Amino acid sequence: MDQQSHTKYSQDLAHEYVRRTAVEIIIKLNVVIFFLWYLIGFRLPLFMIDNFLVSWTGLTEGRVWTLLTSVFSHNLLWHLFMNMFVLYSFGPALERILGFAKFFKFYLFAGIFSSFSHTVVCAWLLDRPGLAALGASGAISAVVILFALIFPKEKIFIFGLIPVPALGGALGLSALDLWGLISQTRGYDLPIGYGAHLGGVLFGAVYYFFRKKL
């Protein structure tokens, strides 16, 4: 193999490695922070709360980085598993279309926007500016709706059991989130960040319609 061929082979190999690992990097970051909750959280709970939970109060106190760090933060195993399972189910197809860099940026900005959506909803609709949240659910919602818009007839399984077209399933889940948010505004204390979910859906939909060349 000559030098030019070797260089091209190395570049192709590196490109293939990067292209395949965007979803893996995201999952690994989530797993690392999950373990931080148990390695550090018991001794320094305020450190984790201040740096890996997002709320309107936290933002007004200057902790703007939590818009992103909270997206990679889970302190319950089932929450981590469900979000990462959905990401692993839908993310690779989007990564193949967008490529490593665009997919990673899409995920990060979707997470930031969904975090901000949560804080706005809590402060202005629920009148609970101190209500904090964590988790990747908003970014995951953006991934799911983008997948559904690109592959509307692809079969997905709701709750892992019910086969439905991707777009119908995604819209159905979004309708449930909207119902949940309306219920929260009426005083039902449901422990789910519907504002973040809907923020993710909005971000994913806007991203798709402004990038129809996908």
Task: Give tens-digit pLDDT for 150-162.
Answer: 999 999 887 677 8
Tell me the average pLDDT of the chain.
89
DSSP symbol at 157: E
- The superfamily in CATH containing domain 3-209 is Rhomboid-like (1.20.1540.10)
CA angle 202, 153, 115 (to 5 degrees): 20
8 Å CB contact between 97 and 90? no
CB count in 10 Å sphere of residue 141? 27
Q: Is the pLDDT of residue 26 over 90?
A: yes
Q: Is the pLDDT of residue 13 over 50?
A: no
Stated as kind and residue range, the H or E segment containing 162 is strand 162-165
Question: CB neighbours of 112 closer than 8 A, spacing ≥ 6?
Answer: 67, 68, 71
pTM for the structure as a whole: 0.88
CB count in 10 Å sphere of residue 136? 30
The neighbouring-strand residues paired with 133 are 54
